[in-house]
Amino acid sequence: MRRFCLLAILSLAALGAEEIDMFWGVRIPMRDGVQLNATIFKPKAMPAPLPVVFTLTPYVADSYEDRASYFARHGYVYALVDVRGRGNSDGAFEPFANEGRDGYDIVEWLARQPWSNGKIAMWGGSYAGFDQWATLKEHPPHLATIVPAAAAAAAVDFPFFNGMFTSYIMQWLTFTSGKTGNLKQFGDSTFWNEKFRERYTHSLPFRELDQIAGNTSTVFQKWIAHPQPDDYWDAMYPTPEQFARIDIPILTITGHYDGDQTGALHYYRDHMRYGSAAARDRHYLIAGPWNHAGTRTPNRDVGGLKFGEASMLDLNNLHREWYDWTMKGGPKPEFLKQRVAYYVVGAEAWKYAASLEAIAAGTRTLFLNSTDGQANDALHSGTLDGDKPTGQSAADRYVYDPLDLRPGALETADNPSYLTDETEALHLYGDGLIYHSAPFEEDTEISGNARLVAWIAMDVPDTDFEVNLYEILPGGGSVLLTSDALRARYRESPRKPVPAPPGEIVKYDFHGFTFFSRRIAKGSRLRLMLRSPNSIQLEKNYNSGGVVANESAKDAHTAHIAVYHNADHASYLELPISRAK
Protein backbone atom coordinates (compact mmCIF):
# COMPACT_ATOMS: atom_id res chain seq x y z
CA MET A 1 0.00 0.00 0.00
CA ARG A 2 2.82 2.43 0.88
CA ARG A 3 4.50 1.64 -2.46
CA PHE A 4 1.24 2.47 -4.29
CA CYS A 5 0.94 5.83 -2.48
CA LEU A 6 4.57 6.67 -3.31
CA LEU A 7 3.92 5.91 -6.98
CA ALA A 8 0.86 8.18 -6.94
CA ILE A 9 2.88 11.03 -5.45
CA LEU A 10 5.66 10.53 -8.00
CA SER A 11 3.07 10.50 -10.79
CA LEU A 12 1.67 13.85 -9.69
CA ALA A 13 5.16 15.31 -9.49
CA ALA A 14 5.95 14.05 -12.99
CA LEU A 15 2.81 15.74 -14.33
CA GLY A 16 3.72 19.00 -12.65
CA ALA A 17 0.30 19.06 -10.98
CA GLU A 18 -0.31 20.60 -7.59
CA GLU A 19 -1.55 18.70 -4.56
CA ILE A 20 -5.07 19.67 -3.61
CA ASP A 21 -7.42 19.96 -0.65
CA MET A 22 -11.12 19.19 -0.65
CA PHE A 23 -13.91 20.61 1.51
CA TRP A 24 -17.09 18.55 1.48
CA GLY A 25 -20.58 19.68 2.51
CA VAL A 26 -20.03 23.42 2.16
CA ARG A 27 -23.38 25.24 2.42
CA ILE A 28 -24.11 28.23 0.15
CA PRO A 29 -27.13 30.34 1.22
CA MET A 30 -29.60 31.55 -1.41
CA ARG A 31 -31.65 34.73 -1.12
CA ASP A 32 -34.78 32.76 -0.15
CA GLY A 33 -33.07 30.87 2.66
CA VAL A 34 -32.49 27.62 0.75
CA GLN A 35 -28.95 26.29 1.12
CA LEU A 36 -27.16 24.61 -1.77
CA ASN A 37 -24.47 22.01 -1.24
CA ALA A 38 -20.98 22.49 -2.65
CA THR A 39 -17.79 20.46 -2.70
CA ILE A 40 -14.77 22.75 -2.90
CA PHE A 41 -11.41 21.74 -4.39
CA LYS A 42 -8.39 24.01 -4.17
CA PRO A 43 -4.60 23.82 -4.48
CA LYS A 44 -2.99 22.77 -1.21
CA ALA A 45 -0.40 25.53 -1.50
CA MET A 46 -2.19 28.87 -1.91
CA PRO A 47 0.01 31.87 -1.17
CA ALA A 48 -2.73 34.17 -2.47
CA PRO A 49 -6.43 33.97 -3.32
CA LEU A 50 -7.24 32.52 -6.74
CA PRO A 51 -9.96 32.70 -9.39
CA VAL A 52 -12.82 30.27 -8.82
CA VAL A 53 -14.54 28.03 -11.38
CA PHE A 54 -17.82 26.35 -10.54
CA THR A 55 -20.26 23.87 -12.05
CA LEU A 56 -23.95 24.02 -11.14
CA THR A 57 -25.43 20.61 -11.87
CA PRO A 58 -28.56 18.50 -11.41
CA TYR A 59 -26.45 15.36 -11.95
CA VAL A 60 -24.95 15.36 -8.41
CA ALA A 61 -21.58 16.97 -7.79
CA ASP A 62 -19.62 13.73 -7.57
CA SER A 63 -20.10 13.13 -11.30
CA TYR A 64 -17.74 16.04 -12.09
CA GLU A 65 -15.04 15.29 -9.53
CA ASP A 66 -12.42 14.59 -12.22
CA ARG A 67 -12.90 18.05 -13.74
CA ALA A 68 -12.75 19.75 -10.37
CA SER A 69 -9.57 17.90 -9.47
CA TYR A 70 -7.96 18.81 -12.81
CA PHE A 71 -8.52 22.55 -12.46
CA ALA A 72 -7.59 22.59 -8.77
CA ARG A 73 -4.30 20.93 -9.70
CA HIS A 74 -3.74 23.65 -12.31
CA GLY A 75 -4.12 26.78 -10.25
CA TYR A 76 -7.86 27.29 -9.64
CA VAL A 77 -10.33 26.84 -6.85
CA TYR A 78 -13.21 24.70 -8.12
CA ALA A 79 -16.70 24.40 -6.65
CA LEU A 80 -19.13 21.62 -7.57
CA VAL A 81 -22.62 22.77 -6.63
CA ASP A 82 -25.81 20.68 -6.64
CA VAL A 83 -28.84 22.58 -7.96
CA ARG A 84 -31.64 23.06 -5.47
CA GLY A 85 -33.47 19.84 -4.75
CA ARG A 86 -30.72 17.56 -6.07
CA GLY A 87 -27.81 15.84 -4.35
CA ASN A 88 -27.28 17.34 -0.92
CA SER A 89 -28.90 20.69 -1.69
CA ASP A 90 -32.10 21.86 -0.02
CA GLY A 91 -35.29 22.86 -1.81
CA ALA A 92 -37.22 21.34 -4.70
CA PHE A 93 -35.85 20.89 -8.22
CA GLU A 94 -37.91 22.38 -11.04
CA PRO A 95 -35.81 22.11 -14.20
CA PHE A 96 -34.72 25.48 -15.67
CA ALA A 97 -36.79 27.53 -13.21
CA ASN A 98 -34.32 28.63 -10.49
CA GLU A 99 -30.81 28.42 -11.91
CA GLY A 100 -30.54 32.09 -12.92
CA ARG A 101 -31.19 33.52 -9.46
CA ASP A 102 -29.33 30.73 -7.71
CA GLY A 103 -26.38 31.10 -10.07
CA TYR A 104 -26.17 34.81 -9.27
CA ASP A 105 -26.14 34.08 -5.52
CA ILE A 106 -23.47 31.40 -5.94
CA VAL A 107 -21.20 33.75 -7.93
CA GLU A 108 -21.41 36.49 -5.35
CA TRP A 109 -20.95 34.11 -2.40
CA LEU A 110 -17.85 32.58 -4.00
CA ALA A 111 -16.44 36.05 -4.65
CA ARG A 112 -16.59 36.84 -0.92
CA GLN A 113 -14.63 33.80 0.28
CA PRO A 114 -11.07 34.27 1.61
CA TRP A 115 -9.59 31.85 -0.96
CA SER A 116 -11.24 33.74 -3.85
CA ASN A 117 -9.76 36.75 -5.64
CA GLY A 118 -13.24 37.80 -6.77
CA LYS A 119 -13.01 36.49 -10.34
CA ILE A 120 -15.58 33.74 -10.89
CA ALA A 121 -16.06 31.53 -13.94
CA MET A 122 -18.30 28.60 -14.86
CA TRP A 123 -17.72 25.24 -16.56
CA GLY A 124 -20.05 22.57 -17.90
CA GLY A 125 -22.16 21.28 -20.73
CA SER A 126 -25.76 20.39 -21.53
CA TYR A 127 -27.83 21.45 -18.48
CA ALA A 128 -24.64 22.88 -16.95
CA GLY A 129 -24.33 24.89 -20.18
CA PHE A 130 -27.89 26.17 -19.84
CA ASP A 131 -27.33 27.36 -16.30
CA GLN A 132 -24.27 29.37 -17.38
CA TRP A 133 -26.51 31.42 -19.68
CA ALA A 134 -29.23 31.52 -17.01
CA THR A 135 -26.70 32.92 -14.53
CA LEU A 136 -25.21 35.36 -17.03
CA LYS A 137 -28.60 36.85 -17.87
CA GLU A 138 -28.83 37.96 -14.21
CA HIS A 139 -25.46 39.79 -14.59
CA PRO A 140 -23.72 38.98 -11.30
CA PRO A 141 -20.93 41.59 -10.91
CA HIS A 142 -18.14 39.06 -10.23
CA LEU A 143 -18.83 36.65 -13.12
CA ALA A 144 -15.71 36.98 -15.29
CA THR A 145 -16.40 34.45 -18.07
CA ILE A 146 -18.53 31.49 -19.08
CA VAL A 147 -17.69 28.48 -21.27
CA PRO A 148 -21.05 26.85 -22.14
CA ALA A 149 -20.76 23.55 -24.02
CA ALA A 150 -23.79 21.94 -25.70
CA ALA A 151 -26.02 24.37 -23.83
CA ALA A 152 -29.67 23.35 -23.80
CA ALA A 153 -32.13 26.20 -24.37
CA ALA A 154 -35.56 25.84 -22.79
CA ALA A 155 -38.36 25.74 -25.40
CA VAL A 156 -35.79 25.96 -28.20
CA ASP A 157 -34.36 22.44 -28.32
CA PHE A 158 -35.54 20.96 -25.02
CA PRO A 159 -38.01 19.66 -23.90
CA PHE A 160 -39.48 20.20 -27.37
CA PHE A 161 -38.32 21.35 -30.79
CA ASN A 162 -40.73 23.27 -33.01
CA GLY A 163 -43.55 22.10 -30.76
CA MET A 164 -42.58 18.41 -30.93
CA PHE A 165 -41.86 16.64 -27.63
CA THR A 166 -39.66 13.55 -27.42
CA SER A 167 -40.23 10.47 -25.29
CA TYR A 168 -36.72 11.02 -23.91
CA ILE A 169 -37.89 13.85 -21.68
CA MET A 170 -39.55 11.31 -19.35
CA GLN A 171 -36.30 9.34 -19.22
CA TRP A 172 -34.40 12.53 -18.34
CA LEU A 173 -36.93 13.64 -15.74
CA THR A 174 -36.58 10.27 -14.01
CA PHE A 175 -32.81 10.67 -14.13
CA THR A 176 -33.17 13.96 -12.26
CA SER A 177 -35.98 12.94 -9.88
CA GLY A 178 -35.42 13.01 -6.14
CA LYS A 179 -32.03 13.57 -4.55
CA THR A 180 -29.93 10.79 -6.01
CA GLY A 181 -28.18 10.38 -9.35
CA ASN A 182 -30.42 7.63 -10.79
CA LEU A 183 -27.77 6.85 -13.40
CA LYS A 184 -28.58 3.14 -13.63
CA GLN A 185 -32.26 3.84 -14.21
CA PHE A 186 -31.44 6.49 -16.79
CA GLY A 187 -29.17 4.12 -18.70
CA ASP A 188 -31.54 1.14 -18.74
CA SER A 189 -32.41 1.36 -22.45
CA THR A 190 -34.33 -1.93 -22.36
CA PHE A 191 -36.75 -0.53 -19.79
CA TRP A 192 -37.23 2.76 -21.62
CA ASN A 193 -37.68 1.09 -25.01
CA GLU A 194 -40.38 -1.09 -23.48
CA LYS A 195 -42.25 1.88 -22.01
CA PHE A 196 -41.99 4.02 -25.15
CA ARG A 197 -43.14 1.09 -27.27
CA GLU A 198 -46.04 0.38 -24.90
CA ARG A 199 -47.43 3.86 -25.45
CA TYR A 200 -46.77 3.60 -29.20
CA THR A 201 -48.28 0.19 -29.89
CA HIS A 202 -51.39 0.89 -27.81
CA SER A 203 -51.83 4.37 -29.35
CA LEU A 204 -52.05 5.95 -25.91
CA PRO A 205 -51.94 9.72 -25.36
CA PHE A 206 -48.49 11.18 -24.83
CA ARG A 207 -49.87 12.79 -21.67
CA GLU A 208 -49.92 9.34 -20.01
CA LEU A 209 -46.23 8.62 -20.53
CA ASP A 210 -45.32 9.54 -16.95
CA GLN A 211 -47.87 7.01 -15.66
CA ILE A 212 -46.63 4.33 -18.05
CA ALA A 213 -43.06 4.94 -16.91
CA GLY A 214 -44.08 4.79 -13.26
CA ASN A 215 -43.00 8.31 -12.29
CA THR A 216 -45.67 10.98 -11.82
CA SER A 217 -43.54 13.10 -9.47
CA THR A 218 -42.05 15.37 -12.15
CA VAL A 219 -42.92 18.56 -14.05
CA PHE A 220 -43.92 16.48 -17.07
CA GLN A 221 -47.57 17.54 -16.92
CA LYS A 222 -46.63 21.20 -16.53
CA TRP A 223 -44.34 21.01 -19.55
CA ILE A 224 -46.88 19.49 -21.89
CA ALA A 225 -49.36 22.17 -20.78
CA HIS A 226 -46.89 24.65 -22.33
CA PRO A 227 -46.23 23.12 -25.79
CA GLN A 228 -44.87 26.33 -27.32
CA PRO A 229 -42.75 29.29 -26.19
CA ASP A 230 -44.70 31.49 -23.76
CA ASP A 231 -44.17 33.47 -20.55
CA TYR A 232 -43.32 30.29 -18.62
CA TRP A 233 -40.41 29.46 -20.94
CA ASP A 234 -39.43 33.08 -21.67
CA ALA A 235 -38.43 33.54 -18.02
CA MET A 236 -35.67 30.95 -18.57
CA TYR A 237 -34.01 32.63 -21.58
CA PRO A 238 -32.14 35.95 -21.85
CA THR A 239 -34.14 38.89 -23.18
CA PRO A 240 -32.71 41.12 -25.93
CA GLU A 241 -31.95 43.70 -23.25
CA GLN A 242 -30.04 41.11 -21.19
CA PHE A 243 -28.03 40.04 -24.23
CA ALA A 244 -27.21 43.70 -24.87
CA ARG A 245 -25.76 44.09 -21.36
CA ILE A 246 -23.34 41.15 -21.66
CA ASP A 247 -19.77 42.41 -21.30
CA ILE A 248 -17.67 39.34 -20.47
CA PRO A 249 -15.73 36.94 -22.74
CA ILE A 250 -17.61 33.78 -23.75
CA LEU A 251 -16.46 30.52 -25.34
CA THR A 252 -19.34 28.53 -26.87
CA ILE A 253 -18.72 24.88 -27.78
CA THR A 254 -20.95 22.56 -29.78
CA GLY A 255 -20.70 19.62 -32.19
CA HIS A 256 -22.04 18.59 -35.59
CA TYR A 257 -23.97 15.77 -33.89
CA ASP A 258 -24.61 17.50 -30.57
CA GLY A 259 -28.23 16.96 -29.57
CA ASP A 260 -28.27 20.46 -28.04
CA GLN A 261 -26.53 22.20 -30.93
CA THR A 262 -29.73 24.09 -31.74
CA GLY A 263 -29.80 25.55 -28.24
CA ALA A 264 -26.07 26.35 -28.18
CA LEU A 265 -26.23 28.21 -31.49
CA HIS A 266 -29.48 29.94 -30.55
CA TYR A 267 -27.72 31.63 -27.63
CA TYR A 268 -24.73 32.42 -29.86
CA ARG A 269 -26.80 33.94 -32.68
CA ASP A 270 -28.95 35.98 -30.30
CA HIS A 271 -25.84 37.39 -28.67
CA MET A 272 -24.45 38.23 -32.11
CA ARG A 273 -27.78 39.92 -32.89
CA TYR A 274 -28.31 41.91 -29.69
CA GLY A 275 -24.84 42.23 -28.12
CA SER A 276 -22.51 45.19 -28.40
CA ALA A 277 -19.65 45.14 -30.91
CA ALA A 278 -17.11 44.86 -28.08
CA ALA A 279 -18.95 41.92 -26.51
CA ARG A 280 -19.34 40.13 -29.85
CA ASP A 281 -15.60 40.42 -30.44
CA ARG A 282 -14.99 38.48 -27.22
CA HIS A 283 -17.42 35.65 -28.00
CA TYR A 284 -15.69 32.66 -29.59
CA LEU A 285 -17.34 29.58 -31.08
CA ILE A 286 -16.01 26.05 -31.60
CA ALA A 287 -17.99 23.51 -33.67
CA GLY A 288 -16.31 20.11 -33.70
CA PRO A 289 -17.29 16.74 -35.23
CA TRP A 290 -18.66 15.60 -31.91
CA ASN A 291 -21.83 14.24 -30.38
CA HIS A 292 -23.31 15.64 -27.18
CA ALA A 293 -20.80 14.05 -24.78
CA GLY A 294 -17.94 14.82 -27.14
CA THR A 295 -18.33 18.54 -26.54
CA ARG A 296 -16.57 17.91 -23.23
CA THR A 297 -14.61 14.72 -23.97
CA PRO A 298 -14.05 14.30 -27.73
CA ASN A 299 -14.22 10.84 -29.26
CA ARG A 300 -13.01 10.01 -32.77
CA ASP A 301 -15.76 7.37 -33.16
CA VAL A 302 -19.27 8.81 -33.31
CA GLY A 303 -22.29 6.81 -34.48
CA GLY A 304 -20.27 4.62 -36.84
CA LEU A 305 -18.18 7.50 -38.22
CA LYS A 306 -14.48 7.90 -37.50
CA PHE A 307 -12.85 11.32 -37.55
CA GLY A 308 -9.24 12.40 -37.86
CA GLU A 309 -6.76 12.80 -35.04
CA ALA A 310 -7.10 16.59 -35.27
CA SER A 311 -10.64 16.27 -33.87
CA MET A 312 -9.27 15.12 -30.51
CA LEU A 313 -8.89 18.49 -28.83
CA ASP A 314 -7.73 18.48 -25.23
CA LEU A 315 -10.68 20.50 -24.02
CA ASN A 316 -9.56 20.53 -20.38
CA ASN A 317 -6.35 22.18 -21.50
CA LEU A 318 -8.19 24.60 -23.78
CA HIS A 319 -10.50 25.59 -20.92
CA ARG A 320 -7.50 26.13 -18.66
CA GLU A 321 -5.85 28.32 -21.29
CA TRP A 322 -9.11 30.25 -21.67
CA TYR A 323 -9.38 30.83 -17.93
CA ASP A 324 -5.69 31.81 -17.78
CA TRP A 325 -6.35 34.39 -20.52
CA THR A 326 -9.59 35.82 -19.18
CA MET A 327 -8.84 35.75 -15.45
CA LYS A 328 -5.05 35.69 -15.05
CA GLY A 329 -3.81 37.90 -17.87
CA GLY A 330 -2.22 35.04 -19.80
CA PRO A 331 -2.01 34.74 -23.60
CA LYS A 332 -5.06 33.96 -25.68
CA PRO A 333 -5.30 30.21 -26.44
CA GLU A 334 -3.35 29.52 -29.62
CA PHE A 335 -6.18 27.35 -30.97
CA LEU A 336 -8.54 30.34 -31.17
CA LYS A 337 -7.09 31.87 -34.31
CA GLN A 338 -10.38 33.57 -35.23
CA ARG A 339 -13.76 33.93 -33.55
CA VAL A 340 -15.20 30.80 -35.18
CA ALA A 341 -13.35 27.47 -35.34
CA TYR A 342 -15.05 24.62 -37.22
CA TYR A 343 -13.92 21.13 -38.16
CA VAL A 344 -14.31 19.99 -41.77
CA VAL A 345 -15.05 16.27 -41.92
CA GLY A 346 -13.43 14.66 -44.96
CA ALA A 347 -10.64 17.22 -44.99
CA GLU A 348 -10.11 16.25 -41.30
CA ALA A 349 -8.86 19.71 -40.42
CA TRP A 350 -9.88 22.78 -38.44
CA LYS A 351 -10.76 25.96 -40.30
CA TYR A 352 -11.52 29.46 -39.10
CA ALA A 353 -13.80 32.36 -39.89
CA ALA A 354 -14.65 35.75 -38.44
CA SER A 355 -18.32 34.73 -38.08
CA LEU A 356 -20.72 31.93 -38.90
CA GLU A 357 -21.94 33.90 -41.91
CA ALA A 358 -18.39 34.27 -43.25
CA ILE A 359 -17.82 30.51 -43.51
CA ALA A 360 -19.69 30.08 -46.79
CA ALA A 361 -18.79 31.95 -49.97
CA GLY A 362 -22.33 31.51 -51.25
CA THR A 363 -25.16 29.05 -51.67
CA ARG A 364 -26.07 26.36 -54.16
CA THR A 365 -29.75 25.81 -54.88
CA LEU A 366 -31.07 22.40 -55.86
CA PHE A 367 -34.70 22.19 -56.96
CA LEU A 368 -36.94 19.24 -56.15
CA ASN A 369 -38.28 17.41 -59.18
CA SER A 370 -39.57 14.00 -60.23
CA THR A 371 -40.90 12.04 -63.18
CA ASP A 372 -44.67 11.57 -63.01
CA GLY A 373 -44.70 12.06 -59.26
CA GLN A 374 -42.42 9.09 -58.58
CA ALA A 375 -40.36 9.88 -55.46
CA ASN A 376 -41.37 7.33 -52.85
CA ASP A 377 -38.23 5.25 -52.30
CA ALA A 378 -34.55 5.01 -53.10
CA LEU A 379 -35.17 3.09 -56.32
CA HIS A 380 -37.94 5.38 -57.57
CA SER A 381 -36.75 8.72 -56.27
CA GLY A 382 -37.15 12.30 -57.31
CA THR A 383 -34.22 14.50 -58.20
CA LEU A 384 -32.38 17.54 -56.88
CA ASP A 385 -31.68 19.65 -59.98
CA GLY A 386 -29.69 22.81 -60.58
CA ASP A 387 -32.35 24.31 -62.87
CA LYS A 388 -35.54 25.89 -61.60
CA PRO A 389 -38.68 24.23 -63.00
CA THR A 390 -40.31 26.22 -65.77
CA GLY A 391 -43.48 24.23 -66.45
CA GLN A 392 -46.06 22.16 -64.65
CA SER A 393 -45.30 18.74 -63.19
CA ALA A 394 -47.11 16.18 -61.12
CA ALA A 395 -46.85 16.65 -57.36
CA ASP A 396 -45.13 13.98 -55.29
CA ARG A 397 -47.47 12.34 -52.82
CA TYR A 398 -47.33 10.18 -49.74
CA VAL A 399 -49.69 8.95 -47.05
CA TYR A 400 -49.11 9.18 -43.31
CA ASP A 401 -51.39 6.90 -41.32
CA PRO A 402 -50.70 7.38 -37.59
CA LEU A 403 -52.21 3.96 -36.87
CA ASP A 404 -49.65 2.22 -39.07
CA LEU A 405 -47.24 0.89 -36.45
CA ARG A 406 -44.62 -0.59 -38.78
CA PRO A 407 -42.25 2.39 -39.06
CA GLY A 408 -41.52 2.83 -35.36
CA ALA A 409 -42.20 -0.52 -33.75
CA LEU A 410 -38.59 -1.68 -33.97
CA GLU A 411 -36.92 1.61 -33.03
CA THR A 412 -34.87 1.84 -29.85
CA ALA A 413 -33.47 4.53 -27.60
CA ASP A 414 -29.92 3.29 -28.08
CA ASN A 415 -27.11 5.41 -29.47
CA PRO A 416 -27.91 6.65 -33.01
CA SER A 417 -25.96 5.60 -36.07
CA TYR A 418 -24.94 8.26 -38.57
CA LEU A 419 -23.35 5.81 -41.01
CA THR A 420 -26.40 4.03 -42.39
CA ASP A 421 -27.40 1.44 -44.95
CA GLU A 422 -30.27 1.57 -47.42
CA THR A 423 -32.85 -0.12 -45.17
CA GLU A 424 -34.66 3.07 -44.16
CA ALA A 425 -34.71 4.49 -47.69
CA LEU A 426 -36.04 1.23 -49.15
CA HIS A 427 -38.75 0.77 -46.51
CA LEU A 428 -40.61 4.05 -46.15
CA TYR A 429 -43.93 2.15 -46.18
CA GLY A 430 -45.26 4.85 -48.49
CA ASP A 431 -45.01 7.58 -45.86
CA GLY A 432 -42.25 9.70 -47.30
CA LEU A 433 -40.39 11.13 -50.29
CA ILE A 434 -36.78 10.83 -51.46
CA TYR A 435 -34.75 13.03 -53.79
CA HIS A 436 -31.23 12.49 -55.11
CA SER A 437 -28.74 14.91 -56.61
CA ALA A 438 -26.43 14.11 -59.50
CA PRO A 439 -22.96 12.91 -58.49
CA PHE A 440 -20.63 15.75 -57.47
CA GLU A 441 -18.09 16.49 -60.18
CA GLU A 442 -15.43 17.55 -57.67
CA ASP A 443 -14.78 17.54 -53.95
CA THR A 444 -17.04 20.22 -52.47
CA GLU A 445 -17.08 21.61 -48.97
CA ILE A 446 -20.52 22.25 -47.52
CA SER A 447 -20.27 24.14 -44.22
CA GLY A 448 -23.13 25.82 -42.41
CA ASN A 449 -26.90 25.37 -42.17
CA ALA A 450 -28.98 23.99 -45.02
CA ARG A 451 -32.48 25.24 -45.76
CA LEU A 452 -35.46 23.59 -47.45
CA VAL A 453 -38.40 25.50 -48.88
CA ALA A 454 -41.25 23.13 -49.77
CA TRP A 455 -44.70 23.85 -51.15
CA ILE A 456 -47.04 21.35 -49.49
CA ALA A 457 -50.76 20.63 -49.51
CA MET A 458 -52.58 18.16 -47.25
CA ASP A 459 -56.08 17.22 -46.23
CA VAL A 460 -55.63 17.40 -42.43
CA PRO A 461 -55.25 20.46 -40.18
CA ASP A 462 -51.93 19.36 -38.74
CA THR A 463 -49.13 16.82 -39.01
CA ASP A 464 -45.40 16.59 -38.34
CA PHE A 465 -42.55 16.69 -40.85
CA GLU A 466 -39.01 15.39 -40.57
CA VAL A 467 -36.29 16.12 -43.14
CA ASN A 468 -32.92 14.36 -43.30
CA LEU A 469 -30.01 15.12 -45.63
CA TYR A 470 -27.43 12.43 -46.42
CA GLU A 471 -24.26 12.03 -48.42
CA ILE A 472 -24.52 8.88 -50.53
CA LEU A 473 -20.95 7.65 -50.93
CA PRO A 474 -19.67 6.28 -54.25
CA GLY A 475 -19.61 2.82 -52.68
CA GLY A 476 -23.28 3.02 -51.71
CA GLY A 477 -23.19 3.78 -47.98
CA SER A 478 -24.94 6.86 -46.63
CA VAL A 479 -23.84 9.39 -44.02
CA LEU A 480 -26.37 11.53 -42.17
CA LEU A 481 -25.35 15.17 -42.53
CA THR A 482 -28.13 17.20 -40.92
CA SER A 483 -31.82 17.13 -39.98
CA ASP A 484 -34.79 19.37 -39.32
CA ALA A 485 -38.35 18.86 -38.09
CA LEU A 486 -41.47 20.98 -38.06
CA ARG A 487 -45.02 20.65 -36.74
CA ALA A 488 -47.27 22.04 -39.46
CA ARG A 489 -49.29 24.28 -37.13
CA TYR A 490 -46.06 26.16 -36.28
CA ARG A 491 -44.98 26.83 -39.87
CA GLU A 492 -45.65 30.57 -39.51
CA SER A 493 -44.50 31.05 -35.92
CA PRO A 494 -43.33 28.78 -33.09
CA ARG A 495 -45.59 30.78 -30.75
CA LYS A 496 -48.84 30.99 -32.69
CA PRO A 497 -50.30 27.72 -34.00
CA VAL A 498 -52.26 28.05 -37.25
CA PRO A 499 -54.11 25.04 -38.70
CA ALA A 500 -53.14 24.01 -42.21
CA PRO A 501 -55.88 24.96 -44.70
CA PRO A 502 -57.20 21.71 -46.23
CA GLY A 503 -56.11 21.24 -49.84
CA GLU A 504 -54.33 24.59 -50.06
CA ILE A 505 -50.73 24.70 -51.30
CA VAL A 506 -48.73 26.33 -48.50
CA LYS A 507 -45.07 27.30 -48.18
CA TYR A 508 -43.10 25.48 -45.48
CA ASP A 509 -39.68 26.91 -44.62
CA PHE A 510 -37.39 24.38 -42.93
CA HIS A 511 -34.65 26.60 -41.52
CA GLY A 512 -33.81 24.65 -38.38
CA PHE A 513 -31.23 22.28 -39.89
CA THR A 514 -28.23 21.66 -37.68
CA PHE A 515 -24.82 23.06 -38.58
CA PHE A 516 -22.40 20.66 -40.26
CA SER A 517 -19.15 20.90 -42.20
CA ARG A 518 -18.13 18.16 -44.60
CA ARG A 519 -16.10 17.83 -47.76
CA ILE A 520 -18.46 15.96 -50.07
CA ALA A 521 -16.36 13.57 -52.14
CA LYS A 522 -16.27 13.63 -55.91
CA GLY A 523 -18.76 11.01 -57.13
CA SER A 524 -20.96 11.28 -54.02
CA ARG A 525 -24.61 12.31 -54.25
CA LEU A 526 -26.95 14.01 -51.80
CA ARG A 527 -30.15 12.38 -50.62
CA LEU A 528 -33.02 14.41 -49.20
CA MET A 529 -35.68 12.45 -47.31
CA LEU A 530 -38.95 14.11 -46.26
CA ARG A 531 -41.49 12.20 -44.24
CA SER A 532 -43.94 12.38 -41.36
CA PRO A 533 -42.19 10.83 -38.35
CA ASN A 534 -43.91 7.85 -36.73
CA SER A 535 -41.71 6.69 -33.90
CA ILE A 536 -41.66 5.41 -30.34
CA GLN A 537 -39.19 8.22 -29.66
CA LEU A 538 -41.66 11.04 -30.37
CA GLU A 539 -44.98 12.42 -29.23
CA LYS A 540 -47.22 11.15 -32.01
CA ASN A 541 -49.25 13.63 -34.00
CA TYR A 542 -52.59 12.00 -34.90
CA ASN A 543 -53.35 14.86 -37.33
CA SER A 544 -56.61 15.99 -35.73
CA GLY A 545 -55.43 19.54 -35.08
CA GLY A 546 -56.26 19.27 -31.37
CA VAL A 547 -53.97 19.16 -28.35
CA VAL A 548 -51.42 16.62 -29.55
CA ALA A 549 -50.52 15.39 -26.05
CA ASN A 550 -54.16 14.35 -25.56
CA GLU A 551 -54.56 12.54 -28.89
CA SER A 552 -54.91 8.79 -29.22
CA ALA A 553 -56.16 6.26 -31.76
CA LYS A 554 -59.72 7.64 -31.61
CA ASP A 555 -58.42 10.99 -32.90
CA ALA A 556 -56.42 9.55 -35.81
CA HIS A 557 -56.78 11.06 -39.27
CA THR A 558 -54.85 9.72 -42.23
CA ALA A 559 -52.89 12.51 -43.94
CA HIS A 560 -52.57 12.63 -47.73
CA ILE A 561 -49.63 14.91 -48.42
CA ALA A 562 -48.49 16.42 -51.72
CA VAL A 563 -45.19 18.22 -52.36
CA TYR A 564 -45.22 20.55 -55.37
CA HIS A 565 -42.31 21.49 -57.65
CA ASN A 566 -43.47 23.50 -60.63
CA ALA A 567 -42.97 26.98 -62.05
CA ASP A 568 -45.46 28.49 -59.59
CA HIS A 569 -44.37 26.44 -56.57
CA ALA A 570 -40.66 25.70 -56.85
CA SER A 571 -39.53 23.64 -53.86
CA TYR A 572 -35.79 23.78 -53.28
CA LEU A 573 -32.85 22.84 -51.07
CA GLU A 574 -30.34 25.59 -50.33
CA LEU A 575 -26.77 24.58 -49.39
CA PRO A 576 -23.97 26.73 -47.91
CA ILE A 577 -20.87 26.23 -50.06
CA SER A 578 -17.60 27.18 -48.38
CA ARG A 579 -15.09 29.53 -49.89
CA ALA A 580 -12.31 27.20 -48.73
CA LYS A 581 -11.01 24.43 -50.98
Which one, of 247, 316, 314, 305, lies nearest residue 276 by Cα? Answer: 247
Query: Is pLDDT above 70 for 428?
Result: no
Helix (H) or strand (E) holding 250: strand 250-257
Which one, of 108, 128, 56, 109, lies nearest residue 87 by Cα? Answer: 56
Q: How many other CB atoms sit within 10 Å of the CB of residue 140?
A: 19
Q: Which amino acid is at 403?
A: L
* Axis crossing angle, helix 99-111 with helix 127-136, rounded to the nearest 10: 70
Q: Which residues pair with 340 in a beta bridge?
A: 285, 353
Give Cβ neighbours of residue 499 (< 8 Å, ≥ 6 apart).
Answer: 461, 462, 489, 545
Q: Are 437 and 455 in contact (CB under 8 A)?
A: no
Residue 227 backbone phi and psi in degrees, to 5: -85, 10
Query: What domains appear along the chain, each with residue ranges and CATH number?
Result: 17-151+245-353 (3.40.50.1820), 164-224 (no CATH), 361-578 (2.60.120.260)
Q: Give just the sign of the alpha carbon dihedral 423, 425, 426, 431.
A: positive
- What is the per-residue pLDDT for 422? 56
Say what the pTM is.
0.94
Please provide the DSSP assignment of 36-77 as one string.
EEEEEEEES--SS-EEEEEEEESS-GGGGHHHHHHHHTTT-E
The model's pLDDT over 283-301, given as tens digits with 9 standing for 90+, comes to 999 999 999 999 999 999 9
DSSP annotation of 18: P
What is the number of residues in the chain? 581
User: Nearest 5°: CA angle at 396, between 394 and 401?
Assistant: 140
Q: How far apart are CA 464 and CA 531, in angstroms?
A: 8
The residue-averaged pLDDT of 62-80 equals 96
Helix (H, G, I), strand (E, B) or coil at 556: coil
- What is the per-residue pLDDT for 2? 39
- What is the per-residue pLDDT for 18? 86
- What is the per-residue pLDDT for 408? 63
The residue-averaged pLDDT of 447-453 equals 98
Q: How far apart are CA 213 and CA 148, in angstroms?
A: 31
- What is the per-residue pLDDT for 378? 81
The model's pLDDT over 193-223, given as tens digits with 9 standing for 90+, comes to 999 999 999 999 999 999 999 999 999 999 9
Which one, of 188, 187, 174, 181, lies nearest residue 63 by Cα? Answer: 181
Which one, of 96, 86, 87, 176, lies nearest residue 132 by Cα? Answer: 96
Q: Which amino acid is at 451?
A: R
- Per-residue pLDDT band for 85 (boundaries 50, 70, 90) equals very high
Give Cβ neighbours of residue 217 (< 8 Å, ≥ 6 apart).
Answer: 177, 178
Helix (H, G, I), strand (E, B) or coil at 425: helix
Q: What is the mean pLDDT of the chain?
A: 93
Q: Which residues pair with 470 in a beta bridge?
A: 480, 527
